[in-house]
Structure 1
Amino acid sequence: MDDPIESLSFEDALKELERIVSRLESGDASLDESIHLYERGDKLRQRCAERLDAAQARIEAIRLDAEGKPVGTRPFAAG
């Protein structure tokens, strides 16, 4: 824990975030520790969201012609 957040993979950041949530939910952490955990958890959440946004931007949708055959790709449009 407390590795630089920028160096964590999405999976590692998510695992650490899950551990932080469990620790906070347990109620065993002191106030100071809870504040530190919350701040780190928020940064991990932001990191995960950034990684997901980047992945989504890389997804491409396949374009089909009138006969349903693939003819190319276009950027993924969410929503």
Structure 2
Amino acid sequence: MSFIWYILIGIASGFVAGKLMRGGGFGLVVNLIVGIIGGVLGGWLFGLVGITAGGIIGSLITSVVGAVVLLWIVGILSRSTGH
């Protein structure tokens, strides 16, 4: 059952990050990928500063923060390469 929660949180956080950073979502599959990578990145970043977030809401916040950072980095890289 926890695997299903990871997928749902990944989709939701990817969607929210897409809305925050670009004004729209990216589609189900890309939202899922951005959300999952964002969850890992957010967990790592939160761990660096000593923040722990538990539960579904904490996981969602961590994933959204990580996904926003991921999209920000991708945006910087795509501007520097001219795409």
TM-score range, shorter chain: 0.3 to 0.5
Tell which structure's C-alpha radius of gyration is larger.
1
TM-score, with length taken from structure 2:
0.36
TM-score, with length taken from structure 1:
0.38
Greater relative contact order: 1 or 2 (C-alpha under 8 angstroms, separation 6 or more)? 2
More strand, by proportion = 1
